[in-house]
Amino acid sequence: MLVTGASRGIGAAIARRAARAGYAVVVNYSEDSAGAERVLQDIHDDGGTALAARADISVPAAVGSLFDAAARLGEVTAVVNNAGITGNLIGNLVDMPAENVSRVMDVNVGGTIFMCQEAVRRMGTQAGGRGGAIINISSTATKAGSPGTWAHYAASKGAVDVLTTGLAAEVAQHGIRVNAVAPGSTNTGLHAAAGMPDRVARLNPTIPMGRGAEPEEVAAAVLWLLSDEAAYITGAILPVSGGR
């Protein structure tokens, strides 16, 4: 399994859980090498197999090199497109700098597309692959649009939802299932990095279940969609949001 943005948060939880499920895991990261090494060590301590690979997924050539690195562990049969950014700026869309908006779109939309393209080229039965599954990490921010905070981020995740639907139909005959998991408010460092360390707690009263998700709960949904129990599911967008 190849997991992008796996050095922390939801990606790290997915990588650890995947290793416990028996996958050899590629822990992708862009900048946080120390975090990736911690995840790698956790997996090795549990007796799992993994390697860390640095790549900026918004660069197509880097995506190809990432899959080449993954081949050291064997044939890739699962790809989790978790890497995503908010740009770490908060405010109304009209005030967002153009370079911030462009970078969010480059990573969240372009990077996910490039990863999906390479996954299909390598895994699809039309290309001699064994088939497999792709999970895109979306967000329930697509429902309300994150006004006043991250409307551009919500828009990028809306694109991920549409990509999931379209690609699932394109590659169903090639032995590849494509689904998305859409976390709601989740206890990760994402909010603190943007200067809102208490954001999850502030949103708790708006969540029917009264709390934010833990990364491990999102990871559990991802691994279920990758499992044989979900063999007839493709094109789905599964919310993990406590009912919000």
Q: Enumerate the active-site residues.
A: 153
CA dist 58 → 22, 47, 107, 111, 172 (Å): 29, 32, 5, 4, 25
Backbone torsion region of residue 128, taken as left when φ is above 0, otherwise alpha when ψ lies between -120 and 50, otherwise beta: left
Euclidean distance between CA atoms 172 and 178, whole angstroms: 8
Q: Would strands 2-3 and 25-29 be described as parallel, antiparallel, or unpaired?
A: parallel
- The answer to whether 33 and 22 are in contact (CB under 8 A) is no
**What single letter denotes the amino acid at residue 57?**
I
Cα angle 8-143-91, degrees, rounded to a multiple of 5:
70
Cα 189 from Cα 3, distance rounded (Å)? 18
Q: Are 176 and 134 in contact (CB under 8 A)?
A: yes
3-state SS assignment for residue 185: coil
Whole-number Å distance between alpha carbons of 70 and 14: 16
For the record, the structure tokens of 38 come out as 């911690």
- Report CA torsion sign: 147, 153, 158, 161: negative
